[in-house]
Amino acid sequence: MRSTPHILVINGTKVRRPVFVLGAPHSGTELLARAIKRSPGFHLTTGRPEVLRVTYAFARRPAIAGERERGAARVLRDAYAQAWQVSARACGECPAECRDLGGLPPAPGGSAPAADATCVDPRGIARFADASPDLLYSADVLLDAFPDAQLVQVIRDGRDAVADMLDDERCLAWFRPGLANLDTVFPNAFFGVEDHTERNRWPRAATAVKCALRWRGAVRLSAKLRLQVPEEQLFTVRYEDLAARPRKLAADLSGYLDAEVSRTALGGLVRAAAGGRAGDAHGVGSWRERLTSRQAAQVEKVAGIELGRLGYRLASDA
């Protein structure tokens, strides 16, 4: 049951139909986040500490959200009430990746931000959005906190996603023994571990296997969302379509959000990503050069069913 509507006001603007960008690690959410953040009327944040503290608590221990019921929604709503504030002080505390999305330089260390050092003019804000990592695991709570929210989820070939995960130290840090909470949370959606065999093998599993499990768990959550969330509140983007037809994707996304997302901006971001590393974006199919044959086989063994269901051709079938 969704919570009763709650009016949240940020800088004098009511939060209506906030947008949340979801996806597995390195699925390409960063490209859409950049385009939305740079579109007129949107204020998009990512990685704000007050939000991450809450979303990772729910992601790592889902029972917390379930036990608190509507209290979880209130906690998350309060986190966004703080994260979406627009002021020189608030924006000066934004993480580097959030400022980068808006084209701003990193905040000067230790110095007071300039009076106009905000990523958006609060007077021009009509919609709020967030693309913090691993929001997918809090999708139910997001919809409880904001019943009119619009979700945008990104699906990408798991082999490309795993190749990027293997290059990301922050992503790999979750696999450290002190952070893998499989003994206290099982099954574990965050790590994608669902049966006792996987849990028993986890300590000695190859890193590519652990990355594949995370991707598999995330796309299974995405599939559940598709079944549970009304069509008008969930828009699914395939990363490969985004890379091939960014202008069409921008038009479709604009129609879904009922707000203009710049076709030119999204097309430019995709071209920049295709020319080299930009955030978490590598070229489509680059896993063929970046994964060893053993790693590719490991990913397909773990997540082959999901890859096939999503229409990705397995190397083993070639």
Query: Comparing 42 with 64, which gets the higher pLDDT?
Result: 42
The pLDDT of 75-102, averaged and rounded, is: 85
- Whether pLDDT at 307 is above 90: yes
Please tell me the least confidently modeled range out of 16-30, 171-185, 193-207, 269-283.
Answer: 269-283
- pLDDT attached to residue 282: 57
Is residue 3 situated within a structural domain?
no
Is residue 4 situated within a structural domain?
no
pLDDT band with cut points at 50, 70 and 90 for residue 263? confident
Count: domains in the chain: 1
pLDDT in tens, 170-181: 999 999 988 999
- Whether pLDDT at 24 is above 90: yes
pLDDT in tens, 309-318: 999 999 877 6
Is residue 318 situated within a structural domain?
no
- pLDDT attached to residue 174: 96
- pLDDT attached to residue 113: 47
Please tell me the least confidently modeled range out of 11-20, 115-124, 145-154, 305-314.
Answer: 115-124
Is residue 1 situated within a structural domain?
no
Report CA Rg, the chain.
19
Q: How far apart are CA 172 and CA 165, in angstroms?
A: 7
Question: Per residue in 59-91, is it b (16+ CB within 10 Å) or e — as a string?
Answer: bbbbebbeeeeeebbbbbbebbeebbbbeeebb
The model scores a pTM over 0.85: yes
Q: What is the mean pLDDT of the chain?
A: 88
pLDDT in tens, 136-188: 999 999 999 999 999 999 999 999 999 999 999 999 999 998 899 999 999 99
The pLDDT of 40-57, averaged and rounded, is: 94
pLDDT band with cut points at 50, 70 and 90 for residue 2? low
Query: Comparing 113 with 167, which gets the higher pLDDT?
Result: 167
- pLDDT attached to residue 274: 66
59 conformational bin, left if phi > 0, alpha if psi -120 to 50, beta if neither: alpha
Q: How far apart are CA 152 and CA 147, in angstroms?
A: 15
- pLDDT attached to residue 22: 97
- pLDDT attached to residue 78: 95
For the domain that residue 210 is a member of, what is the CATH number? 3.40.50.300
The pLDDT of 57-83, averaged and rounded, is: 87
Q: DSSP for the chain?
A: -PPPP---EETTEE--S-EEEEESTTSSHHHHHHHHHTSTTEEEE---HHHHHHHHHHHH-HHHHHHHTHHHHHHHHHHHHHHT--SHHHHHTS-HHHHHHTTPPPPPTTSPPPTT--SS-GGG--EEEE--TTGGGGHHHHHHH-TT-EEEEEE--HHHHHHHHTT-HHHHGGGSTTT--TTTSSSBTTTTB-SHHHHHHGGG--HHHHHHHHHHHHHHHHHHHHHHS-GGGEEEEEHHHHHH-HHHHHHHHHHHHTS---HHHHHHHHHHHHTS-BTTB--TTTHHHHS-HHHHHHHHHHHHHHHHHTTPPPGGG-
Share of the chain above pLDDT 90, in %: 70
Is residue 138 situated within a structural domain?
yes
Is residue 317 situated within a structural domain?
no
Please tell me the least confidently modeled range out of 76-80, 93-97, 108-112.
Answer: 108-112
- Whether pLDDT at 133 is above 90: yes
Enclosing domain of residue 182: 9-312
Residue whose C-alpha is closest to residue 46's, from 127, 134, 117: 134
